[in-house]
Amino acid sequence: MDILLQFFINALMLGAIYALAAVAYTLVYGILEMINFAFGELFMFGAFLVVSFMLPQVSLFGVMVPMPGLPFLLAAPLAIFIVAGMGYLIERCAYRPLRFAPRLAPLITAIAVSVALQNLAQSVWGAQELAYPSFFLLEAKPIQIGGAYISMVEIAVIVTAAVVMTALHFYVKKTRMGRAMRAAAQDVEAAALMGIPVNRVIAMAFIIGSGLAALAGIFYGAVYLFAHPHMGFMPGLKAMVAAVLGGIGNIRGAMLGGIVLGFAETFGAAYLPNGSAYRDAIAFGILILLLLFRPQGLLGTRLPNRLADRGAMAFKGSASAIDAGLARLSAFFAGRDLVRYASWGILAVVAVSVFFIFPSPYWARVFVFVLIYALLASGLNIVVGFAGLLDLGFVAFWAVGSYFTSILFVEVLAKGYGVDVSSVWWLFYVNLLLGGGLAALFGMMLGYPTLRLRGDYLAIMTLGFGEIIRLVATNWVDLTRGPMGIRGIPVPSLFGYKLGSPVQLYLLGLVLLALAVFLIALMVRSYLGRAWVAIREDEAAAEAMGINTARYKLYAYSAGGFFGGVTGVFFAHSQQYISPLSFTLFENILILMLIVLGGMGTLAGPIIGAAIWVVFLEVARDMPFIQQHPELRFMALGVLLVVLMIFRPQGLLGQKRQPLMMS
């Protein structure tokens, strides 16, 4: 009984924090139908700012800076205020210019903002956890109820969450701004027509949402007594899950979703077999089940409105100086054909430099990675670039291919049956196909439940799938050797002749990439590719023209999955060692960003994006500044992506449109 009561208290506290952050997601989603991934980072900034204000001194950019040492009750509102301002600025600068862009644009931008903020925080506060300074709530003695304990902070979290959310409920119900918000959430277009200042309403939603995220982060930090640059990422995702769980766009639903998630996680971790290792998978598992059986969420009524017409949502923002400036910049970038010529230049330079890399195994190895990322990006590009489906679980296919061949070669053949793996060299080539095929099958499995979902739901769902696969790879130690990874994977060979040197691997990879691009081109330049692009451009119109969108989406997932799987097999054998560390969500985001960088929905874009980024990463290693602050590279990429999405959504090199017909 004591133990149940203690679980109950833990769950309620965790649920309250999720609920606060979930309300942030739901507020913004309700109006803009956009998932602001960056709330996770604003959550983190909330915690960092409070800690910084409360301490007598803090190391910022590696320099000790004196701080006011404010009491908690002053520091917290100040932090919330600042974070709310950040939220406003992010909306104003990064999201508003994209309000009428295709669905994917704001979503990708939000991810990029999130990456940039995370790495910015690491530059400012360092990579270490910062300890939460003690204050009155922490010093107070916990209350004992039977054998269970509840601390003052936990009481404060639960009470404050309840009060804030009740207040918000009344704000939305009773005030003018609140009513405007509700109207906008019903129908932005209609609200704009009725004279509701939509821009101000949206800004307000961001301000309130960011403040709530900051508050959640402050509490999260206070309960677990730390602040860290990456602390917001997982809770942010969970809060998003909670918002979807409750019915996205529905404030009471978000509260309920948060609490339900808190309970599911706590009790799941306690009572499921190996529950605590799979703890993070619980949230995503629930999400997938939910989206399968009740996509509108627990309290939600809103189903993805598939006839919603993007083009028609044309209310005008006020023509401020910023807007005019943005427009001018945009025109400047759009008008540069220079950049397109530069793209050929760069391709030529890369092609020529290839001849110089042969003497240097290092550069050959770098280019092996260019090829691996180019392969991955090309596969993901089928899903994201051509079919227009945001996929944040793509690394799972990569993992499936890698693990398939590694388990077969090392665990089964070499260890299980004592086979000399060099005698079955041909199996590598068979595995390229089998691994690809297996991943394609996974693609179908992943695709099936997502068919009914729209872009942003899809993104979270695929994200959940990817995380589950990674957690399985980490925790199913008997199959995958878990975090220890699988070692001793043989290098590819041909009739007993080893192809293990970097240059040989490079050439092998080049053949694979050429084949992949060729295959993708053949698929894209046919009715198959046309169907994908039609779905991307306008799903309802595609359907009206006789395209079975569900089926073609599945094809896209499995085609993308196939190339992910093939890459996985090549990756495992070229590296001779794999572990779950390679298949993280961040890698997935990175691959996605490379596609955007080079140009979505083109054949060359992913390759160019991969080449630029991998080579840049290596060249940047020599810069002393980067050696001291390696995270700046990722911050720069995040910022670059935001700028690209706004001014040059067609990618850095402005590729020509991909033809979609047989020639």
Partner 1 sequence: MPDQATALPLDDKVLLDVKGVGRRFGGLVALANLDVAIRPGEALGLIGPNGAGKTTFFNIIAGAIPVSSGSIHLDGEQISGLSPDRIAGKGIARTFQNIRLFDEMSVLENVLIGRHRFFRASLFGLIFRTKKAHAEENLSKEVARQVLERVGLADKMAQPARSLSYGDQRRLEIARALALEPKLLLLDEPMAGMNPTEKADLSRLIVELNRSGMTILLIEHDMKAVMGISKRVIVLHHGEIIADGSPDAVRADRTVIDAYLGRRG
Partner 2 sequence: MRKAFRYMTAAAALAAIASFTASAAGAAEEVKIGFTAALSGDFAAYGENMQRGLELAIGEINAKSDNGGITLAITTADDRGLPSDGVLIAQRFCSDETVDIVMGYSFSSVALAAATIINDCQLPVLASAVTSPDLAGVSPYFRRNVLTDAVQGELAGTYAAKVLGAKRIAALNQQDDYGIGGTDAFVAAAKAAGAEILSREAYVLGTKDFKTQLTSIKAQTPDLLWVGGFYTEAAKIAQQARQIGLDVQILGSDGLLSPKLIELGGASIDGTILYGMFDPSVAKPEVQAFVKAYKDKYGEEPNAWAALAYDAGYTLNEAAKLAAAKNGKVDRVGLNAAFAEIKAVPGVTGPTTFQENGNREGTVVYLQVKDGKFILAPKQLN
Q: Point out which residues bind partner 1 (CB under 8 A).
A: 307, 309, 311-312, 519, 522-523, 526-528, 530-531, 533-534, 537-538, 540-549, 601, 657, 659-662
Q: How far is the CB of 246 from partner 1 (least distance, A)?
A: 21
Nearest distance from residue 181's CB to partner 2, in Å?
Answer: 32
Contact between 181 and 172 (Cβ < 8 Å): yes
Contact between 140 and partner 2 (CB under 8 A)? no
Distance CA 472, CA 463 (A): 14
Q: Decide which of partner 2, partner 1, none touches 321; Cβ closer than 5 to 8 Å per partner kind.
A: none
> Smaller CB distance to partner 2: residue 234 or 445?
234
From the CB of 362, what's the least distance to partner 2, in Å? 3
Closest CB 190 distance from partner 1, rounded Å: 13
14 interacts with partner 2 by CB under 8 A: yes
Helices (H), 126-232: 136-139, 152-174, 176-186, 188-193, 198-224
Work out which of 627, 656, 659, 661 binds partner 2, going by CB under 8 A. 627
Residue 519 CB-density burial (10 A; 0-12 exposed, 13-18 middle, 19+ buried): middle
Q: Which of 88, 135, 226, 527 binds partner 2 (CB under 8 A)?
A: 226
**DSSP H or E segment with residue 494:** strand 493-494
Yes or no: say if 603 and 521 are a contact pair by the CB < 8 Å rule. yes
DSSP code string of 282-341: HHHHHHHHHHHH-TT-SS--PPP-TT--TTT--PPPP--HHHHHHHHHHHHHHT--HHHH
Query: Which residue type sits at 548?
Result: N
In terms of CB distance, is 160 or 576 closer to partner 2? 576
Give how many residues touch partner 2 by CB under 8 A.
74
Phi and psi at residue 33, in whole multiples of 5°? 50, 45
Question: Least distance to partner 2 from the beta carbon of 446, Å?
Answer: 23
Q: Which is nearer to partner 1, 86 or 440 (CB)?
A: 440
* Partner interacting with residue 543 (select from partner 1, partner 2, none; CB below 5-8 Å by kind): partner 1
In angstroms, the CA 567 to CA 391 distance is: 17
Residue 307 interacting partner from partner 2, partner 1, none (CB closer than 5 to 8 Å by kind): partner 1
Task: Give the bridge partners for 148, in sequence order.
Answer: 145
Per-residue interface string for the shown chain with partner 2, residues 407-446, x marking contact by CB under 8 A: ----------------------------------------
| Residue 485: φ, ψ to 5° | 80, 170
> Restricting to residues 334-363, which ones interact with partner 2 according to CB under 8 A?
360-363
State yes or no: residue 225 binds partner 2 (CB under 8 A): yes
Tokens of 245: 């769980």
Our CB check for partner 1 shows the closer of 425 and 562 to be 562
Q: Among partner 1, partner 2, none, what does residue 144 contact (CB within 5–8 Å per kind)?
A: partner 2
Q: Give the H or E element holding residue 528.
A: helix 527-537
Two structure tokens written together for 84: 């709310």
Site for partner 2, residues 63 to 82, rule: CB under 8 A: 64
Minimum CB separation from partner 1 for residue 559, in Å? 9
Q: Which is nearer to partner 2, 450 or 579 (CB)?
A: 579
User: Could you tell me the smallest distance in angstroms from the CB atom of residue 320 to partner 2?
Assistant: 37
Indicate which of partner 2, partner 1, none lies near residue 534 (CB less than 5 to 8 Å, by partner kind). Answer: partner 1
Q: Measure the CA–CA gap between 658 and 603, rounded to whole angstroms.
A: 7
Is residue 144 a contact point for partner 2 (CB under 8 A)? Answer: yes
What residues numbered 558-577 form the site for partner 2, per CB under 8 A? 571, 575-577
CA–CA separation, 171 and 335 (whole Å): 46
Do 326 and 97 contact (CB within 8 A), yes or no? yes
Cβ proximity to partner 2: between 371 and 535 the closer is 371
Q: How far is the CB of 541 from partner 1 (least distance, A)?
A: 4
In this complex, which beta carbon is closest to partner 2, that of residue 219 or of residue 552? 219
State which residue, 307 or 319, has the beta carbon closest to partner 1: 307
Which listed option, partner 2, partner 1, none, makes contact with residue 578 (CB within 5 to 8 Å by class)?
partner 2
Closest CA to 595 of 323, 310, 379: 379
Smallest gap, in angstroms, from Cβ of residue 545 to partner 1? Answer: 5
Please, what is the minimum distance in Å from the beta carbon of residue 333 to partner 2? 29
Q: Which is nearer to partner 1, 137 or 519 (CB)?
A: 519
Count other Cβ atoms within 10 Å, centred on residue 166.
11
- Residue 452 contact partner, candidates partner 1, partner 2, none, CB within 5 to 8 A by sort of partner: none
Candidate list 70, 100, 101, 126; residue touching partner 2; CB under 8 A? 126
SS in 3 state form for 358-404?
A: CCCHHHHHHHHHHHHHHHHHHHHHHHHHHCCCCCCCCHHHHHHHHHH
CA distances from 3 to 10, 16, 270, 273 (A): 11, 20, 10, 18
**586 in contact with partner 2 (CB under 8 A):** yes
Kind plus residue range of the DSSP H or E element containing 497:
strand 497-498
6 touches partner 2 (CB under 8 A):
yes
Which tokens belong to 181?
């918000």
Q: Supply the DSSP string of 588-638, one letter for each residue.
A: HHHHHHHHHHH-TTSSHHHHHHHHHHHHHHHHHTT-HHHHH-TTHHHHHHH
